[in-house]
Amino acid sequence: MRWLLTAAAVAWSGAAMAQDAKVGAALFEEHCAVCHGRDADGRGPMAGALVIQPPDLTQLSARNDGTFPTERTVFRIDGREAIVSHGSPMWIFGDLFDGEDAIIKAETGQPILTSRAIVDLVAYLEGVQR
């Protein structure tokens, strides 16, 4: 219920959450690059040890008819959508990136309540699309 009230309050107030891709890049480097690669191309140093290879995250838009899949990306990072290679939800990162509430708009324009860190990670990922 708290998230619903927060979402309503932020949406009603018209407050826009600026995305910080530079912060997102630092978070990606620290927490994601070991599997997904420093360039988000799926070629991290641990990729060879994984049964299911990490995807090339620079191709998210290309695999989604040219539209960046904001909602799916947020839901995969925060654990609302299970990822088989992580054993179900991205169990490590959902809590790790928890913190200050933030709202990001899905590609449909629908607001999504998530955390500030995830908003920044999504900004970084959107910026590395090819």
- Output helix, strand, coil percentages for the chain, rounded to the nearest 5: 50, 10, 40
DSSP letters for 83-125: BGGGTBS-HHHHHHT--SEEEEE-TTS-EEEEEHHHHHHHHHH
pLDDT of residue 15: 46
**Cβ–Cβ < 8 Å for 86, 75:** no
Structural tokens at position 87:
């054993």
Q: In which residue ranges of the chain is pLDDT below 70?
A: 1-17, 84-95
**Cβ–Cβ < 8 Å for 40, 129:** no
What is this structure's pTM? 0.81
Q: Where are the domains of the chain?
A: 2-13+20-127
pLDDT of residue 125: 98
- Write the pLDDT tens digit of every residue in 77-92: 888 887 766 554 444 5
**Among the listed residues 104, 127, 120, 125, the one whose alpha carbon sits nearest the alpha carbon of residue 20:** 120
pLDDT of residue 82: 74
pLDDT of residue 68: 98
Q: Directed axis angle between helix 116-127 and helix 21-31, to 10°? A: 90
pLDDT of residue 13: 43
In three-state secondary structure terms, 104 is: strand
**Cβ–Cβ < 8 Å for 81, 90:** no
Q: Which residue has the tokens 């790790």?
A: 96
Residue type, 89: P
- In eight-state DSSP terms, residue 88 is B
pLDDT of residue 17: 63
pLDDT of residue 97: 81
pLDDT of residue 50: 85
